[in-house]
Structure 1
């Protein structure tokens, strides 16, 4: 089963310094039929203006992934971490029993990132933070496995049975992705245009995939993220 979610039909917000597309209910956008997709609770496609950002605020009992599309993201938290990541890099935080953090764009260009929240497999973990600076070439015309469960083999491991892959597929090329029985996935067309099993996805569109293999054809060079997880009714 495939279900396309067009960017124009997503929730949105414009605070001036922050412009967002909400794949799922968030902040002032509330849709009782679109709260989550399996263990995936939030995907916000954020544009953050230079020298602005999210000041210190709390989180708990959530696995939080930030994937930078363009620009610079500077993180600080109550555990003493402070780091800056750029295009194609990932930071991850297990909020666990509670943590305070801030996220700012201290660069000169607009920052675009995907903010991803995932339900943990249980509550009460000790908070933790990390980041990884993946080489861009590691996702060119092939899947880069960035995130897995603690039992998985990705470089980033979180407290949930989920796998996150990124891809940059050159125009005219094809690649497949298998979704096994009992599994599902959510795909974000970050940049470009692709045809997925005869469905066209444009920049910032989403796609729900349940127990169905897909073939991706790049109509334009396409930057894609896939989050694959256990199927939930």
Structure 2
């Protein structure tokens, strides 16, 4: 089963310094038929003006992954972490029993990043933070396995049976991604245009995939993120 979600039909917000697309219900956008996809609760595609950001605020009982598309993303938290990532790099925080954190664009250019929330296997876990500076070339025409569950083999591990992959597929190239029985995946067409099993996706579109392998062909060079998980 494949379901395309056009970016023009997603929830959105524009408060000046922050412009967002909401793949699922978030903030003032509420759709009772679009709360989450399996354990995937949030994907926000955020544009943050230079020298702006999210001040200190609390989180708990959520696995939070931030994928930097362009610009500088600086994280600070009550555990004493203060780090900056750039294009193609990832920050991860297990909010667990509770943590305070902030996210700012301290750079000179607009920041674009994907904010991803995944429900943990259980509540009340110990808070944790990490970041990883992946090499961009490792996702060229290849799925870069960035995030896995605790028993997986990705460099970033979260408290859930889920995996996150990134890909930059050159124009005209094709690649297959398996979604096996009992599994599902959510795909974000971050940049470019691709055809997936005869369905065309443009930048910022999404797709739900359930128990169906997909063939991706890049109409234009395509930057893609896939979150794969147990079927719910």
TM-score range, shorter chain: over 0.9
Residue pairs, 1:76-155, within 5 angstroms:
76-155=76-155
How far residue 119 of structure 1 moved from its aligned partner, in angstroms, is 0.2
Cα RMSD for the two superposed structures = 0.2
SS of the equivalent of 2:123 reads coil
Deviations 1:127-181 (A, max 9, x none): 0000000000000000000000000000000000000000000000000000000
Alignment of 1:142-221 (within 5 A): 142-221=142-221
Q: TM-score, normalised by structure 1?
A: 0.99
Provide the residue aligned with 1:222 in structure 2: 222
CA distance, structure 1, for counterparts of residue 230 and residue 118 of structure 2:
13
2:11 maps to: 11
1:201 CA displacement = 0.1
Count of aligned residue pairs for this structure pair: 232
**Structure 2 length normalisation: TM-score?**
1.00
> What is the CA–CA distance in structure 2 between the aligned matches of 1:210 and 1:102, rounded to whole Å?
34
- The 3-state SS of whatever aligns with 1:167 is strand
SS of the residue corresponding to residue 137 of structure 2 reads helix
Secondary structure (helix, strand or coil) at the match of 1:164 reads strand
Q: Give the Cα separation in 1 of the matches to 2:3 and 2:186.
A: 10
Partner residue, 1:68: 68
Shift of 1:16: 0.2
Deviations 1:108-141 (A, max 9, x none): 0000000000000000110000000000000000
**Residue 26 in structure 1 maps to residue 34 in structure 2:** no
- Unaligned runs of 5+ residues in structure 2 are none
> Structure 1: any 5+ residue segments left out of the alignment?
none
